[in-house]
Amino acid sequence: MKKSLLALAALGAFAGAAHAQSSVTLYGIIDAGFAYNNNSNGQKLYSMNSGNLQGSRWGLRGTEDLGGGLKAIFVLENGFNVFNGQLGQGGDMFGRQAYVGLSTAQYGTVTLGRQYDSVVDFTGAFEVGSQWASYFGAHPGDLDNMNNSNRVNNAIKYTSANYAGFTFGGLYSLGGQAGQFNRNQIWSVGLGYSQGPLQLGAGYLNVKDPNYSFFGNNASSKTPTTTPGSTSNFGSSRVINGYASARTQQVITAGGAYTFGAATVGATYSNTQFKDLGSEPGTGLTPTGGFTNGTGKFHNAEINFKYQLTPALLLGVAYDYTKGYGLGDAKYHQGMLGADYFLSKRTDVYIDGIYQHASGTDSTNHTAVANINGLSPSSTSNQVAAVVGIRHKF
C-alpha cells in the first residue's frame, strides 16, 4: 500500500511539473460603439460598429518549455462582429492570426502561418488609428497597411530578441504557384528602437499581385478571371481601389514617439506605390474609368499628440496629410480628436471625431471625394464621422 501511495505521489508531482512547463491562455477584446457618418454616398448614416479602437476578437496563446531556453509557441486568433456574430477578415475562422513556431530569449523567434507584416510590427503602433482614434482615424484607405487591414498568408517570420533597445525582423510569404516563383510573393523587413521615453521604427513591404495575395487572401476573396470588374478585392475606398490591377505594391514607412511627463508626441511617414497598373485581369479598369498603366503613388505624413490628463482620462489630437502623385494627384487633409476614459484596467469608454477634405483626381481617374477609412465615399469633397463606444479586454 505504501509503495502504491509513493508511486501515485511521484506521478502527481511529475504531472504537476509537466503542467508548469506549458500554458494555454484564452484572451480577447469586445469593442462596440455607435457611429455617425454625415455623408455616405450622399446620405447620413447612423450605425452600430464593432471593433473601433481594436478589432473584436478572441484567441488562444500557448507556450511549451522545451528546455535549454527554447520554447514552442502558438497563437490562434479569431475576429468577429459583436453585433451579428459574423466572422471578420472575410470569413476566416482565425483570420487575425494563426501561427506556430520556436522562440528563445537569446536569438529571437521563428514562426510559420498567417501573420502581420513588418510595417505593422515596427511602425503601425505610431499612427493614431492604432491607438485612440479608431480605424476611422487610420490613413485614408489604409493605403500603407499601418492599420493592419491585411494579413499575410503562408508566411515565414523572424523576430529578433531585444539588443540594447534594438529589435529587427522580417517576413517572407511563398506564393505557392507552380512554375511562377514570384507570383503572389510577399516580403517585408523592419527595425525598431525603444529606450526610455523614445520609440522609433521603420518598415518595408513588397507585395506581388496585391489584389490576390494581400487584399484577397481570405475566404470571401475573388479569384482571377478576365471578366472586367469581377475580381477586385480592394474594397470601396476610392483612395486606392482604382489601383487594383497593380503588379506590385511597395510600402516604405517610418515612425516615432517621444514621451515627456503625461504627454506624448508622435509622427509617421509612408510612401506607397502601386506599380505596373493594368497587369492584373478583370479588376474593372477601363481607359475612361481608371488608370491602366504607370504607377499610382502616395506620400502620407501624420503628426499626433496625446495627453494623460488624469490616470483615467486620455485626450488626443492628430493631423494627417496624403498626397497622390504619379498618375493621380489627389490630396486628403484629415483631422482627428478623441477621448478615452478608463473605468478599470480592462474596460474603457471612448469618443472620436474625424474630418476629411479631398481635392484633385483620385485612383479612379475622377474628381476626388472625401473617403474616411472604413466608410463609403462621400458625395462631396468633405466627410465627417464620429463614434462613441465601449471596449472590454479579457
Per-residue pLDDT of 227-249, as tens digits, reads: 666 789 999 999 999 999 999 99
5 located within any domain: no
Q: How far apart are alpha carbons 56 and 37 in whole angstroms?
A: 21
Residue 10 resides in a domain? no
**pLDDT of the residue at 281:** 76
pLDDT confidence bin for 304, thresholds 50/70/90: very high
pLDDT of residue 8: 38
CA distance 141 to 239: 6
Under the banding of pLDDT at 50, 70 and 90, the label for residue 226 is low
Considering the domain boundaries, does residue 17 fall inside one? no
The model's pLDDT over 72-121, given as tens digits with 9 standing for 90+, comes to 999 999 999 999 999 999 999 999 999 999 999 999 999 999 999 999 99
Give me the torsion for CA of 144, 149, 155, 161, rounded to 10°.
70
Between CA 309 and CA 75 the distance in angstroms is 35
Query: What is the spatial distance between Cα 306 and Cα 337, in angstroms, rounded to a whole number?
Result: 10
| pLDDT over 80 at 3, yes or no | no
Query: pLDDT tens digits, residue range 289-303?
Result: 567 789 999 999 999
User: Would you state the pLDDT for residue 289?
Assistant: 59
User: Bigger pLDDT: 289 or 344?
Assistant: 344
The CATH number assigned to the domain holding 98 equals: 2.40.160.10
240-273 pLDDT per residue, tens: 999 999 999 999 999 999 999 999 999 999 999 9
Are 168 and 175 in contact by the 8 Å Cβ rule? The answer is: no
Query: Has residue 8 been placed in a domain?
Result: no
Domains in the chain, number: 1
Q: What pLDDT shows up at residue 12?
A: 43
Distance from the Cα of residue 13 to its chain's centroid: 44
d(C-alpha 96, C-alpha 115), whole Å: 8
15 assigned to some structural domain: no
Kindly state whether residue 389 falls inside one of the protein's structural domains: yes
**Chain segment 52-79, per-residue pLDDT in tens:** 999 999 999 999 999 999 999 999 999 9
Using an 8 Å Cβ cutoff, are 33 and 48 in contact?
Answer: yes
Q: Say what the alpha-carbon torsion angle 371, 373, 376, 382 is, to the nearest 10 degrees.
A: -30
pLDDT reported for residue 143: 98
Checking if the pLDDT of 357 tops 70, the result is yes
CA atoms of 27 and 237, how far apart (whole Å): 32
DSSP track, 13-55: HHHHHHHHTEEEEEEEEEEEEEEEEEEETTEEEEEEEE-SSS-
Q: What pLDDT score does 285 carry?
A: 59
Of 99-113, 143-157, 164-178, 308-322, least confident by mean pLDDT is 164-178
What is the value of pTM for the model shown? 0.91
The answer to the question of residue 7 being in a domain is: no
Distance of alpha carbon 39 from alpha carbon 101, whole angstroms: 46
Q: Is residue 86 part of a domain?
A: yes
Decide: 268 and 254 in contact? Cβ < 8 Å.
yes
Domain of residue 132, residue span = 22-393
Q: Specify the pLDDT at position 286.
A: 52
pLDDT beyond 70 at 129: yes
Decide if 97 contacts 116 (C-beta within 8 A): yes
- pLDDT at position 228: 63
Query: Does residue 11 carry a pLDDT above 50?
Result: no
pLDDT reported for residue 13: 41
